[in-house]
Structure 1
Amino acid sequence: MTDYGHDLLFGTFVTPGAQGAEHAVDLAVTADRVGLDLVTFQDHPYQPAFLDTWTLLSYVAARTTRVRLSGNVLSLPLRPPAVLARAAASLDILSGGRFELGIGAGAFWDGIAAMGGRRLTAGQGVGALREAIAIIRDLWDTDTRGAVRHDGRYYHVTGAKRGPRPAHDIGIWVGAYKPKMLALTGALGDGWLPTIEYLPQGVASLPELNARIDEAATEAGRPPAAVRRLMNVMNVEFSAAGRGLLGGPPAQWVEQLADLALTHGVTAFLIGGDDHTITERFAAEVAPAVREIVERERG
């Protein structure tokens, strides 16, 4: 059993559709109203059917009061790290400390290149993300004197002033699947944010992938618990008969999520579906029961 001891978070993974745009906003408002912890949005700037995720995050921050917000995950190749650092700090300040930074090395390279971004190999993407995380953290670090300078292979920052300082310690949550990205997550990330449907063996993949992150964290001189484990589950429904992960009655959801927390160390659960009723039932019938089980077992 693996339990990294983090508090539990329950939230949503919302499609930022441009047609009927208010639906995405209303889903976030519903999550805020019913007491969920986190609302996240996909980020595909090359997709004309989607709203720009950063604009949507800012608008939703103004329409909500308590729920935390994040991209899931932001496409680094189309969001320069120094600019992203200032934008993230600004939104965190304006929202009262409710922003977290989900980030990825990039995917769908044809779309990225079509928008003017650099086309990178998988290995180059890892290197670029490593540089970007260092730049972002340096811009947030207002305790260190002197300007930020970074002369890397992928990014150059030559004397940028530090700040603004975020309202809270923003978590950097990395979308990662392959060995090099998992190693980067363990060495530098505050969280690991994959989608269960993209894991090669689903839940059965978690022991091996967690071990890779743990090993990298230890090699970097960090405790494995420094990396929160989050999970997107896109295909969800409440139904009388179970059909796999989060596809049955609420009691089955509760059992499955408690097992993910206590056996695999996953402590943040983000559901797709883009459905108000599912969001409400998730908050009312699932989240409290999972919290109760995990608290009892930890106790």
Structure 2
Amino acid sequence: MHYEGKIYRPWMEAESVLIQTTLGCSNNQCTFCTMFDDKRFKVRDLEDIFKDIDEARVIYPKVESIFLIDGNVMAMRTEKLLKILDKIKVTFPELQHLALYSGFNDFRRKSIAELKELRGAGLTTAYSGLESGDPIVLERIKKGMTREHAIEGMELAREANIQVLASFIFGLGGRERSAQHAENTTSLLNIMRPDAIAPMALAIQPGSELEREVQRGEFILPTPMQLLEEEKHLLENMDDFPCYYWGDHGNNIATMKGIWPEVRQPFLDNINKHIALNPMAKKNVIETFAW
């Protein structure tokens, strides 16, 4: 199988076979991200994708989970994506899970009929970067998305029965907008009600625009205590909608995962324990690692 450039996948997809269908990200301007700086967005040729699918069939005797990379695969034309999904379905009849990256705006750029076609062709899950629910933070990070866009994209995905995991970043508001970032992200999640969420602690990526903002003193890094307080606000104020909480990213101070809302109280107990006893919480600035 053939991969070009740096390869990323969600940590939940560690057991999935990775099929590269696009190169890079069609947005590729978020200030905090350098994932696809080494390539320009491009949809791979179908012939090359099909070769990789056939090679995967030879390599793996049983494939129940596939994740399509690179960035927002959903941005490609529906007709082409359907051909890829059909090829996968025929090649791996035992497949149970087929996921990809999709921006919330990518859902908005397709009709509900197209999204339902993709679901019918085997697409089960989309990983979508929400990052923040705070309008000012969204503008500062150059996400190219508003709260309203995220809500609309989520509604379309739900109508098409495509499960959505929404990821967001504790600390992305910096020291200045920590409270607003937490409050507005929580309120947006209560409107969207995604099938799963993946909160991650902010990590400054070397070479990113956000790193340069930190160096110029324009972005003041949050404290570990602020990250814990942001998660505590989320746990106290997120509504009781069914959701899987993937809070076990390696950069998180309190790593925990489970089925929401049953985990609310044990997670709150854990956060409060870290706030009271974890020496890291007393430090003046976050210490996290690049992806």
State the TM bucket, normalised to the shorter chain.
0.3 to 0.5
Higher relative contact order (CA 8 A, sep 6+): 1
Q: TM-score normalized by structure 2?
A: 0.43
Q: TM-score normalized by structure 1?
A: 0.42
**When you count helix as a share of all residues, which structure comes out higher?**
1
